[in-house]
Structure 1
Amino acid sequence: MSGQVSSTAGTTAPNPNTSSPTATAVLPSSSGSIRIPPLRGSENWRIWRVRMEDLLGELELIEYVDGMKIKPSADPDDWLKSDCKARGIIRRCVDDNVMTNILACETSAEVWTQLKQLYEVADIVAIVELRRNFFSHRMLDETRIDDHVRTMRSWYDQLRAIDSNLANDFDWAIALIASLPLLWDVFIQTLRPLLNFQDKTKWPDMAKQVTSSVMAEGQRKEQRTVDAGLLAKKNTAAAATFGSGGSNGKNTSGGQGKRKGECNYCHKKGHWERECRKKKADQEKKKETAHIASTGEQGNQDQSDQGGAVAFVAKAPTSFSSHEWIADSGAGSHIVGNRTYFSTYEPVSEVVKGIGGDVPIIGRGTVCAMIRNGNKSNELLLRNVAHVPSFSSNLLLCKVIDLAGGACLFKGGRCTVYAPDGRTLGVGPKIGDSAKGSLYLMNIWLLLPQPK
């Protein structure tokens, strides 16, 4: 194998009084020439080391560098030739400042050991800082998931480069999950079946599954944000076109001040009824009326009232996941799509109106769930829940929350659920409207029933 090494020439002559830059080395390999940027110091040591180890391994010289192949006492010529080749390759891949530290090294192993001592981060302060970053980092809501995973992976790889015992596959899975924002708590509950800390042989697969699940969920959330943004722009454009003007629907303002006319609601001049601030304020007060939860069975309620919620979920541009909960301010009953979570169950034959016709309700029963507000969680006991297998999400009906004396307040585009003692149990943003009320995305997850 040829040991020729060349380098790209610089266009500027170096100043003899300063350290001259070292060009990228062009080195031969079995797959052709490769370029390796020079080692500058600790800032690029980790990546440079991996590239050099790959190259030296491909050239069958790595055993000379790591000291595994010791110089024989008899007939050392072949060993010296190979070791000299390895030392030369390393020297051609460092800049002048680094070169001054390895000039006196006689073997490739001495060169490699010297570089590791100089630039490999192994002091306790650096390790503490890396572990602190890795295990305590928190992703911001606006951060893209691929950027976040890349940041976490960088710290993980640096710890592994120092010592493989400083971070393992289980650490990666747990740290990645723990770094997700609070808004991801419902999704995190779905990862529980993947976490198996007892069987170490399954840790690599567990880490891969957790990573792929987190990436998929993040991309889905990002797509939903894009879809919501497009929808908001479309609504804004429609409002600008049809939301102002006279009775003929045309915009007659033309930048000429208030339109003349009398409001049919407050009877003041200068605006129309649909623009009346007093009317909007009065309507808002009505919306703030709390819906007190019922403790009795609600089996006789008209399920057709909540068909709008089913239709909204079915027509959503981005599908909802089976672990997500939508709160509906309209009438009807709670809906769960997965039979597994019912602690009591009774088959029924009912329907709820949806897309393209009636959607069957095949059973009713009791489920337990957890609702989160910030870092606090409380249990919900939901009775007379409708089992609708075709429903892709879960529906929480605010009027029939099984919290004796509890309440829901709708204000400012949010739904706030209160306990009987006035504590806030959860808050969810408004995501749309159904035929009979508004819809809100809540931080709730189902609990599997306890074995009897």
Structure 2
Amino acid sequence: MASSGFSPAAPPIFNGEGYHIWVVKMKTYLQALDLWEVVNLDVELVPLRVNPTVAQIRQHADERTKRHKAMSCIQNCVLDVIFTRIMACETPKQAWNKLKEEFQGIERTRQQQLLNLRRDFENLKMEEETVKQYSDRIMVVVNSIRLLGEQFSEVRIVEKMISTLPERYEAKISSLKDSKDLTSISLTELINALYAQEQRRASRLEEHQKGAFQAKTKSSSSSFAYKGKMTLRDKPKSDAPRRRDQPCRHCKRHGHPEANCWFRPNVQCQYGPC
């Protein structure tokens, strides 16, 4: 019996999509209310015998109430557009099977879906992504297969991951083979081991890039400082002192520019012609 102190969460509402997920949630919800057997077994309610006892009357009333509760749960856990498809069903089992037939499909459709999902699983390969991202992609396909009722072992998932990992993980896989039996390793343990390797590789790459950047920055700073010093030291001196040291071509003397020389041919006295 359901615990009197337990109050299940709001029931899952089926909108026509994701039927396989809704079925799992709905089954758990009905089990929490102790109503799943009423839906699954659909035992016909036996009429009361003549002169029934109080216990028999109470049991008969409880069974009838459970059927109504289960029917109410199914009807209220679907949208109105879907409710119209099961409104003519008289028992919760009929309503449940009606939804299953329409949204899961007949056996031939189910087998075709399984065939497509198995093909998707076999074609999965790791791309430019992390181990966790790859494992998530695998589990999406695996869970879809399981929802269609097919058993899918964890060993098979582990084998799939190991066989499709890129070459950069070979050293880690070899190390795991030497230390453990890979047929008994869990998927979580495998992912954690590979994820740890990814973290170490990413850390080393980050340190290498940081060191290269610092070296480049230091080299650029040194080059800039060197060029600055060379510019100041090797800056060409003015030509004025050099011209002042040269002798005047008019008087052959030093210490004055040629333009001010009194012996230049075109010199004129400031007081006029002498």
**TM-score computed with the length of structure 1 as normaliser:** 0.42
- Out of 85, 100, 120, which is 2:69 matched to? 85
What is the rounded CA distance, in whole Å, between the counterparts of 2:217 and 2:154 in structure 1?
Answer: 55
**How far has the Cα of 1:29 moved from its partner?**
8.4
Matched, 1:236 2:223: no
What is the rounded CA distance, in whole Å, between the counterparts of 2:87 and 2:194 in structure 1?
Answer: 50
Q: Which residue of 2 aligns with 1:57?
A: 31
Please say if residues 169 and 194 of structure 2, whose CA atoms lie closer than 8 Å, have aligned partners that are also in contact. Answer: no
- Out of 143, 147, 157, which is 1:161 matched to? 147
What is the rounded CA distance, in whole Å, between the counterparts of 1:238 and 1:112 in structure 2?
Answer: 67
- Out of 110, 117, 122, which is 2:101 matched to? 117
Matched, 1:45 2:19: yes
What is the rounded CA distance, in whole Å, between the counterparts of 1:109 and 1:156 in structure 2?
Answer: 28
> Cα gap change, 1:173/1:230 in structure 2, threshold over 3 Å: closer, same or farther?
closer
What amino acid does structure 1 have at the position aligned with 2:84?
Answer: T
**How far has the Cα of 1:155 moved from its partner?**
1.7
**How far has the Cα of 1:250 moved from its partner?**
4.8
> Cα gap change, 1:29/1:130 in structure 2, threshold over 3 Å: closer, same or farther?
farther
What amino acid does structure 1 have at the position aligned with 2:18?
Answer: N
> Cα gap change, 1:92/1:179 in structure 2, threshold over 3 Å: closer, same or farther?
farther
Please say if residues 42 and 93 of structure 2, whose CA atoms lie closer than 8 Å, have aligned partners that are also in contact. Answer: no
What is the rounded CA distance, in whole Å, between the counterparts of 1:37 and 1:88 in structure 2?
Answer: 13
What amino acid does structure 2 have at the position aligned with 1:127?
Answer: L
Equivalenced residue count is 213
**How far has the Cα of 1:62 moved from its partner?**
0.4
Give secondary structure in 2 for the equivalent of 1:147: helix
What amino acid does structure 2 have at the position aligned with 1:80?
Answer: R
Please say if residues 29 and 58 of structure 1, whose CA atoms lie closer than 8 Å, have aligned partners that are also in contact. Answer: no
- Out of 118, 130, 133, which is 1:147 matched to? 133
Please say if residues 14 and 79 of structure 2, whose CA atoms lie closer than 8 Å, have aligned partners that are also in contact. Answer: yes
> Cα gap change, 1:126/1:228 in structure 2, threshold over 3 Å: closer, same or farther?
same
- Out of 114, 124, 128, which is 1:127 matched to? 114
Q: Which residue of 2 aligns with 1:308?
A: none
- Please list the CA deviations of residues 241-299 of structure 1 after superposition, one character each: whole Å capped at 9, or x if unmatched: 21235xxx252599x9xx9xxxxxxxxxxxxxxxxxxxxxxxxxxxxxxxxxxxxxxxx
Off by >4 Å, runs of 4+ in structure 1: none
> Cα gap change, 1:229/1:104 in structure 2, threshold over 3 Å: closer, same or farther?
same
Please say if residues 19 and 103 of structure 2, whose CA atoms lie closer than 8 Å, have aligned partners that are also in contact. Answer: yes
> Cα gap change, 1:212/1:48 in structure 2, threshold over 3 Å: closer, same or farther?
same
- Out of 194, 213, 225, which is 2:181 matched to? 194
Matched, 1:176 2:157: no
- Out of 185, 196, 200, which is 1:220 matched to? 196
- Out of 71, 87, 91, which is 2:44 matched to? 71
What is the rounded CA distance, in whole Å, between the counterparts of 2:177 and 2:47 in structure 1?
Answer: 60
Please say if residues 29 and 59 of structure 1, whose CA atoms lie closer than 8 Å, have aligned partners that are also in contact. Answer: no
- Please list the CA deviations of residues 317-376 of structure 1 after superposition, one character each: whole Å capped at 9, or x if unmatched: xxxxxxxxxxxxxxxxxxxxxxxxxxxxxxxxxxxxxxxxxxxxxxxxxxxxxxxxxxxx
Give secondary structure in 1 for the equivalent of 2:186: helix
TM alignment of 1:402-441, pairs within 5 A: none
**How far has the Cα of 1:212 moved from its partner?**
2.7
TM alignment of 1:302-341, pairs within 5 A: none
What amino acid does structure 2 have at the position aligned with 1:106?
Answer: E
> Cα gap change, 1:33/1:60 in structure 2, threshold over 3 Å: closer, same or farther?
closer
What is the rounded CA distance, in whole Å, between the counterparts of 1:253 and 1:104 in structure 2?
Answer: 92
What amino acid does structure 2 have at the position aligned with 1:153?
Answer: M
Q: C-alpha root-mean-square deviation of aligned residues, in Å?
A: 3.0
Identical counterparts, % of pairs = 23
Give secondary structure in 1 for the equivalent of 2:224: coil
Instruction: Name the structure where helix makes up a greater proportion of residues.
Output: 2
Please say if residues 154 and 187 of structure 2, whose CA atoms lie closer than 8 Å, have aligned partners that are also in contact. Answer: no
What is the rounded CA distance, in whole Å, between the counterparts of 2:200 and 2:181 in structure 1?
Answer: 25
**How far has the Cα of 1:80 moved from its partner?**
2.5
- Out of 60, 75, 98, which is 2:82 matched to? 98
What amino acid does structure 2 have at the position aligned with 1:134?
Answer: F
Please say if residues 172 and 194 of structure 2, whose CA atoms lie closer than 8 Å, have aligned partners that are also in contact. Answer: no
What is the rounded CA distance, in whole Å, between the counterparts of 1:139 and 1:170 in structure 2?
Answer: 18
What is the rounded CA distance, in whole Å, between the counterparts of 1:62 and 1:33 in structure 2?
Answer: 14
Please say if residues 38 and 95 of structure 1, whose CA atoms lie closer than 8 Å, have aligned partners that are also in contact. Answer: yes
What is the rounded CA distance, in whole Å, between the counterparts of 2:220 and 2:25 in structure 1?
Answer: 65
**How far has the Cα of 1:134 moved from its partner?**
1.9
Please say if residues 117 and 141 of structure 2, whose CA atoms lie closer than 8 Å, have aligned partners that are also in contact. Answer: yes
Question: Gapped runs of 5+ residues in structure 1?
Answer: 3-27, 197-205, 260-452
Please say if residues 8 and 32 of structure 2, whose CA atoms lie closer than 8 Å, have aligned partners that are also in contact. Answer: no
What is the rounded CA distance, in whole Å, between the counterparts of 1:120 and 1:103 in structure 2?
Answer: 19
- Please list the CA deviations of residues 59-114 of structure 1 after superposition, one character each: whole Å capped at 9, or x if unmatched: 11000111x25123323543232111011112111112222221111111111111
Instruction: Name the structure where strand makes up a greater proportion of residues.
Output: 1
> Cα gap change, 1:36/1:228 in structure 2, threshold over 3 Å: closer, same or farther?
farther
Q: Which residue of 1 aligns with 2:7?
A: 32
What is the rounded CA distance, in whole Å, between the counterparts of 2:80 and 2:4 in structure 1?
Answer: 24
> Cα gap change, 1:136/1:188 in structure 2, threshold over 3 Å: closer, same or farther?
farther
